Structure 1
Amino acid sequence: MDTRGSLLRRWTGEMPVYGVTLALFALCTALLASRGIGLDAGPVLANARIYLVSIVAWMALDAGLHLARHRPREPFAALHRRYAGPGAIRRWIAGAPLLALCILLMPFFSKMKAAIPLFSAYTWDATFIAWDRAIFFGYDAWQVLQPLVGYPPVTALLGLLYQAWFLLLYAGCLYMAFAAIDPALRRQFFLGYALSWSVIGGGAATLLASVGPCFLGPLMGDPTFDAQMAYLRAADAQIPVMPLAVQQMLLDWHAADADGLGSGITAMPSMHVAIAFLYWLAVRRISARAGRWMFAFFVVTWIGSVHLAYHYAVDGLVSIVMVALLWRLSGAVIAWWDARLAGSAPRLQPALRTKTVPAE
């Protein structure tokens, strides 16, 4: 196998992902510099450590399943071939650039999210409250959901699943980067992923700056959602509701002007809903069954975002519309790039259209 050639074909096909993402990084860097904010390596290293732990955890789980399923006579040799053999090394090398982009992406997003007050005041909450009430006949969205999910065990479960969303950022991205999936789908996903964090989580969040229900009281002195927060605290006294501790941590970071990994406060649009919806768009093309589970997770995430007081219902609605548009745009960009490759170097095209990754 022409290993160098196959890697070159894969990376050439992924150039739109690298180019667009690096251009967005440069734009973010310039915007932050205009407000006197520099970049530091701390959040990047922290994110890299999380990815490293995710890789080790995935390998441990996969190794256990592999040994239980195949029961090889020489288990250590079998695991070595699986994770350090020539084919495995090619897969690690092939997916390394996408992994590097993922490691850099979240620290950039966290910096931009924490810097929102420097670019735009939080003035949109009243508008989004009005939009929710227009949709739900004069009620806040959480009030409509409360008879269905307003029970401490259900609230605690929704809180757990809402936190489990972070697996999409780590285990999910590792799968999309290294698994043997359709290369066109992989490229469309990562281009949509980078655009979602930048355009939705950065640009739209700054233009539509809002704090969300849970922070409306502490930051704005607005008691509109005091009853919802009172219920969540009462539920937490019975069964721990994990997001409440995270919300307090975000408040503490906001008060301290922290801009590390995961910091910053913004409600509109909802990145939880956006990324869950993006994964559904991609996963349904890998497996119909997995797609159904991903759709259920997306719906639960949207419900949880409202019930747990992070978001207004319209936050998720705007996210869905924007992700759908960016998904189509990403597909069009990848198709345009493939057409250019087909015209300038026809020998690259068969590898880009195959259902397996050339380097795998």
Structure 2
Amino acid sequence: MTIQAKFELDTSAVAGGGLSRLIVQSLRDNGILLVLVLAYYVAALLIGVYTATPVSTVSPTILALMLASLVPIFLATMIIWRFAYMAVAVRPAKPIAWMMQDLKSTFLYDHRRLVSGGIAILAIIFFAAVFAYVKETIPQLNPFSWDGTFARLDRQMHGGHDPYALFSPIFANATALRGLDLAYSAWFLLIYFFSFIACMDRENPMRSNSYLISFTLTWIVGGSVFAVFFSSVGPIYFADFGFGDQFAPLKDMLLGINAQYALMAVDLQAMLLENAQNNSGVSGISAMPSMHLATSWIMAFHAFRFGKTLGWIMVGFAVVIQLGSVMLGWHYAIDGYAGFLVAAVCWFAGAKLARVQSRIDRSSARA
């Protein structure tokens, strides 16, 4: 069947009353993901009642702004994804013509991909908004108190030294820190990239559901449950929150390099601290576990499903993020180790739940 014929059939099905059926089917495709997001939202509402703080981050205005800001990233992600697929797997004689036809068939003709993927994207955006609220309530639920313990554990686990001091001979210089700072910032783009691709990956539903479910579980378990229980601020804020001057040399080193070569981490750290002190703007501060590390490992596990080379590249990225989290003062080394454990457990659980989702999909297809 030609693409044009397929388009005509799909359009006819949708126009003939199949749209509602397609939406129901797409909601079922994302059933477990949607249940997790809904349960998390209910938990946030309960937190709002307990703290007398409304869940303001999920207002229609904020969600619309988030969606609008992510549209360019989404489009760029789709183009890069399909280009990489063409270059590695297809290698057509006429790449430009193939790309144009593939993008048309992917974005215009595959209605189930668009609706199911769109629902998943909206769910992830809504989840991110709820998570932002939960993270900002951490000190209300459990005041920061674990930093002294984690700092001592870090020293005990690393031969009586702070981990940043062990790495300083190699990484305490402008060139290395700027590289780590850039990698740390690149994490934000990679999160969007992997998440958007998983939402739109209809070729392998098990693969995409494993990522989306484990990704969501990691933020719930690590970024919310553990973050509340082990409430901590991290080395860069150690003195600011009254835990002592143990990390003053690290902060002085970062400020000194930032004075010559701007580090994005230093500016962001100052903004978060100011907002936390003034109770305004984005002020979510939380160290344990490192969600940069946990989600980097989730991306690495997922990357191995596309190939060993990509998988090992992402493992390398996770190692760089571990170094960056310590040298930039965001985290104790133990935060990263805990992030890996959270990711491993949530990846295993996500894979199990993805198999459940697969059975649900097969049952609905037979019905």
What's the TM-score bracket when you normalise by the shorter of the two chains?
A: 0.7 to 0.9
Partner of 1:353: none
Letter in 2 for 1:86: Y
The 5-angstrom pairing of residues 15-34 of structure 1 reads 15-34=31-50
Partner of 1:358: none
- Write the distance in 2 (CA, Å) between the matches of 1:295 and 1:29: 36
For residue 37 of structure 1, report the CA deviation from its aligned partner: 1.3
Corresponding residue to 1:295 among 315, 321, 331: 315
TM-score, normalising length: structure 1: 0.86
The 5-angstrom pairing of residues 51-130 of structure 1 reads 51-58=70-77, 70-72=95-97, 78=101, 81=104, 84-87=107-110, 89-130=111-152
- Write the distance in 2 (CA, Å) between the matches of 1:232 and 1:7: 51
- Write the distance in 2 (CA, Å) between the matches of 1:68 and 1:219: 61
For residue 243 of structure 1, report the CA deviation from its aligned partner: 0.4
Partner of 2:334: 314
Query: Per the alignment, do residues 290 and 86 of structure 1 end up closer, same or farther by CA in structure 2, a change over 3 Å counting?
Result: same
Letter in 1 for 2:329: A
Letter in 1 for 2:326: V
Alignment gaps of 5+ in structure 1: 349-360
Partner of 2:220: 198
SS in 2 for 1:293: helix
- Write the distance in 2 (CA, Å) between the matches of 1:328 and 1:59: 27
Query: Per the alignment, do residues 90 and 9 of structure 1 end up closer, same or farther by CA in structure 2, a change over 3 Å counting?
Result: closer
Letter in 1 for 2:104: R
Corresponding residue to 1:46 among 44, 65, 68: 65
Q: Which has the higher contact order (CA 8 A, sep 6+)?
A: 1
Partner of 1:188: 210
Letter in 1 for 2:323: I
- Write the distance in 1 (CA, Å) between the matches of 2:279 and 2:245: 24
The 5-angstrom pairing of residues 260-279 of structure 1 reads 260=282, 263-279=283-299
The 5-angstrom pairing of residues 193-232 of structure 1 reads 193-220=215-242, 222-232=244-254
Partner of 2:178: 156
Q: Is the 8 A contact 2:107 2:114 kept in 1?
A: no
Partner of 1:351: none
Q: Is the 8 A contact 1:47 1:106 kept in 2?
A: no
Q: What whole-Å deviation, never above 9, does each CA across 1:197-247 have from its counterpart, x for those lacking one?
A: 111101110110001011112222621111001111122223221100000
Of stretches 323-332 and 125-134 in structure 1, the one that deviates more from structure 2 is 323-332
Query: Per the alignment, do residues 181 and 289 of structure 1 end up closer, same or farther by CA in structure 2, a change over 3 Å counting?
Result: farther
Q: What whole-Å deviation, never above 9, does each CA across 1:256-294 have from its counterpart, x for those lacking one?
A: 21354xx31010011100110111111111222111111
For residue 337 of structure 1, report the CA deviation from its aligned partner: 4.3
Query: Per the alignment, do residues 93 and 134 of structure 1 end up closer, same or farther by CA in structure 2, a change over 3 Å counting?
Result: same
For residue 298 of structure 1, report the CA deviation from its aligned partner: 0.8
SS in 1 for 2:239: helix
Letter in 1 for 2:36: V
For residue 106 of structure 1, report the CA deviation from its aligned partner: 1.6
For residue 188 of structure 1, report the CA deviation from its aligned partner: 1.5
Q: Is the 8 A contact 1:156 1:236 kept in 2?
A: no
Partner of 1:357: none
User: Is it true that 1:36 corresponds to 2:59 in the alignment?
Assistant: no
Q: Is the 8 A contact 2:44 2:55 kept in 1?
A: no
Partner of 1:12: 28
Q: What whole-Å deviation, never above 9, does each CA across 1:1-43 have from its counterpart, x for those lacking one?
A: 7866787656424311111221111111211222111123244
Letter in 2 for 1:27: A
SS in 2 for 1:196: helix
SS in 1 for 2:53: coil
Q: Is the 8 A contact 2:26 2:115 kept in 1?
A: no
Letter in 2 for 1:48: L
Q: Is the 8 A contact 2:236 2:251 kept in 1?
A: yes
Corresponding residue to 2:193 among 168, 171, 193: 171
Q: What whole-Å deviation, never above 9, does each CA across 1:101-160 have from its counterpart, x for those lacking one?
A: 111122111111111111101110011011111110100010111112122111011001
Partner of 1:356: none
Partner of 2:304: 284
- Write the distance in 2 (CA, Å) between the matches of 1:275 and 1:20: 17
Alignment gaps of 5+ in structure 2: 1-5, 11-17, 87-91
Partner of 1:134: 156
Q: Is the 8 A contact 1:276 1:298 kept in 2?
A: yes
Q: Is the 8 A contact 1:158 1:300 kept in 2?
A: yes
For residue 93 of structure 1, report the CA deviation from its aligned partner: 1.6
Letter in 1 for 2:284: G
Query: Per the alignment, do residues 271 and 80 of structure 1 end up closer, same or farther by CA in structure 2, a change over 3 Å counting?
Result: closer
- Write the distance in 1 (CA, Å) between the matches of 2:232 and 2:309: 36
Q: What whole-Å deviation, never above 9, does each CA across 1:49-74 have from its counterpart, x for those lacking one?
A: 2321312444676799989962449x
- Write the distance in 1 (CA, Å) between the matches of 2:364 and 2:108: 31
Q: Is the 8 A contact 1:184 1:334 kept in 2?
A: yes
